[in-house]
Structure formats: C-alpha cells, structure tokens
Amino acid sequence: MVFTPLFIISLLIVLILVWLFVKTIDNRKWLTFLVSVILTPLVYFYMFYPAINIFSSYHHEKHFEATAWKEKPALRYEMSTEIVDDQIFIGKSKSEIQEALGVTEWYGWDDSIKANSPDKWNYNLGFKPGAFNTHQECLELIFKNDMVLSSRQYQMEKKDY
C-alpha cells in the first residue's frame, strides 16, 4: 500500500470524527484515545472508504509487483499509476516485459499498417471502484526496435455480449 497524502488526511479526519464520537460516551482522555485509535481503521475501511467509492473512483495505490500482477488481474489498476507515471518499463525489452507482465492480452490497432500491431501490447487492468464506473482500465505498451518506447493508460467501454 502506498501512503498518499489523500489517504493520510482522510485517515486523520476519520480519527478525529471517531475521537469526537467516543468523547461523548466517556470523558477519560486515555480511554477515549485508545478506543479511537483501535476503531479508526475499522471505521475507515468498513464505512468511510466504501462510502467514498460509491461516488468517486478513488482507490488505494500499490507499488508494482510482478507476482501480484499475475495472480490478481482484477486489481492491476492499483499498480497502474506507478507504471505509467514513473514509466518503469521504458527501455525494457519484450522478453523482460513478458517476464514481468506475462503474455500480452491483445495487440493494439496501428493506423499506419491498418492492422493490429505486434509492437502495441495491451493488458487489462480491471475496473476501478465506483458505483457508476462502467469503463475498463487498460495499459498499452508501445515498442520500437523491441524496446518499450512509451506506456499509457486508457479506458474502454464495458461490453456485454
């Protein structure tokens, strides 16, 4: 789990709200603080976080791990920010990418050759949390001379067949 400023601020807000609530029950400061510290993670992950996800696409971010990428494909979106923003695969060969991410799931369309290009590898990242989210997140790696030139994330409409 990556501790982003938004995560820390929201956790502190929940801690303050829980502390104010517990303070109405008992005035002993040490007990109020202890109960608040114990209850804050429970309130955050079982009440606050799900409520936020209903109305937004906020999600926790994780550092890229090849084993987690392969074992839990539905949660790949949690690692996508690091992959795209930090460009961690730039300059890597196709064999290195295949070792880290697995076999490409599909090739991207290339208008210059009017066909799917073996130099545009795409991976499904899953769906970001959110009640109104109908777009699947995807990662595209573009190769030139068998080396990653760029990476980008895009959304694709969910199709029901």
Q: pLDDT digit string (tens) for 5-37?
A: 877 888 888 888 888 888 888 788 888 888 888
Question: How far lies 38's CA from each of 19, 20, 35, 109, in Å?
Answer: 10, 14, 5, 52
In the prediction, which pLDDT does 144 show? 92
**pLDDT tens string 77-119:** 888 888 888 888 899 999 998 898 888 888 887 777 777 888 8
Strands (E), 4-157: 106-110, 115-127, 135-144, 147-157
Instruction: Grade residue 68 by pLDDT with cuts at 50, 70 and 90.
Output: confident
Average pLDDT over residues 129-151: 84
Contact 139, 153 (CB under 8 A): yes
Strands (E), 2-160: 106-110, 115-127, 135-144, 147-157
In the prediction, which pLDDT does 145 show? 92
* Torsion region of 60: left, alpha or beta (phi above 0 gives left; psi -120 to 50 gives alpha): beta
Query: In terms of Cα–Cα distance, which of 129, 123, 137 is closest to 89?
Result: 123
Instruction: Grade residue 47 by pLDDT with cuts at 50, 70 and 90.
Output: confident
Average pLDDT over residues 117-137: 80
Q: Which residue has the higher pLDDT, 34 or 58?
A: 34
- Give me the residues paired with residue 127 across strands: 136
Instruction: Grade residue 50 by pLDDT with cuts at 50, 70 and 90.
Output: confident
d(CA 81, CA 64): 9
Instruction: Grade residue 147 by pLDDT with cuts at 50, 70 and 90.
Output: very high
